[in-house]
Amino acid sequence: MSRKVMLITGGSRGIGAATAQLAATRGYAVCISYLRNRDAADEVVRAIENSGGEAIATQADVSSQDDVIRLFESVDQTLGSITALVNNAGILEHHMRVEEMDAGRLNRIFATNVTGSFLCAREAVRRMSTARGGNGGAIVNVSSVAARLGSPNEYVDYAASKAAIDAMTIGLAKEVATEGIRVNAVRPGVIYTEIHASGGEPGRVDRVKDAVPMKRGGDAVEVANAILWLLSDQASYTTGACIDVAGGR
């Protein structure tokens, strides 16, 4: 069986860390990238290694083209040819109405969520495309239900960035469909992770869970399971799909 190598951006915590740990149990050698949280990233690597898996952590700001190129080179050199990419790194900022938002905030959100996912997808396609001598592979972009709900009164900027990711998923899937690469997205609903603290609202999951038909927030591993399925051969005829993991929301 050929070696399975996965890069997960933003793998130091939350959905990325859960995906890395699940991927390792499915036989992937895993690279997690992180921005600032080196200790947390090292802890994820240690947990994977202690369970007999193979993992490395690399610092990279996904909004920087130079960092992304260096990140992919470190995967090439340390783990070998990448077969799976999870574009997970993402940010939101403190909830507010549109009148209060400035261009700086919009640029920061788009730089990480959209430019970051684009740059990583580009590097992955350069390596995976059978038209360029690669062996194919699969990409999953982490979008959000906000892409279709809009997040009014809190994060319309974040929602717009996630809608851009959906459009990129659909377009790229078509562009590389005959080159051995599948591209899909998951759209998580409200998931218990630290992102809500960075959005200035630690209790947000509990506040919005009444709007979820299943009446609960999700666990990061429930998103990881959908990501791993989309990357697996079981999803061999699924490309260009944006799949909600949102308790029916």
- Binding residues (CB under 6 A) for ligand NDP: these are 9-16, 33-37, 40, 60-63, 88-91, 112, 116, 142, 144, 188, 190-191, 193-195, 198
Contact call for residues 169 and 209 (beta carbons, < 8 A) = no
User: Least separation, in Å, of the C-beta of 13 and ligand NDP?
Assistant: 4
Q: Quick one: the chain helix, strand, coil %, rounded to 5? A: 50, 15, 35
| CA–CA gap between residue 32 and residue 41 (Å, rounded) | 7
Which residue type sits at 210?
Answer: D
At 74 the three-state DSSP class reads helix
Q: Which of 225, 158, 242, 160 is nearest to 196 (CA)?
A: 158
CB of 6: closest distance to ligand NDP in angstroms? 15
Name the residue nearer to ligand NDP (CB basis): 5 or 159.
Answer: 159
145-156 in b/e form (b: 16+ CB < 10 A) is bbbeeebeebbb
Given 28, 158, 192, 237, the catalytic residue: 158
- Ramachandran angles phi, psi of 178, nearest 5°: -95, 10
The Cα 184–Cα 140 span in angstroms is 5
Q: Does the annotation count 158 as an active-site position?
A: yes
Given the complex with ligand NDP, which of 53 and 188 has the nearer CB atom? 188
Closer residue to ligand NDP, CB minimum distance, 151 or 239: 151
Residue whose C-alpha is closest to residue 41's, from 9, 63, 62, 13: 13
CA distance 76 to 163: 31
Closer to ligand NDP by CB, 82 or 129: give it.
82
Q: Minimum Å distance from CB 135 to ligand NDP?
A: 26
Q: How far is the CB of 196 from ligand NDP (least distance, A)?
A: 6
Choice between 108 and 179, CB closer to ligand NDP: 108
Catalytic (active-site) positions = 158
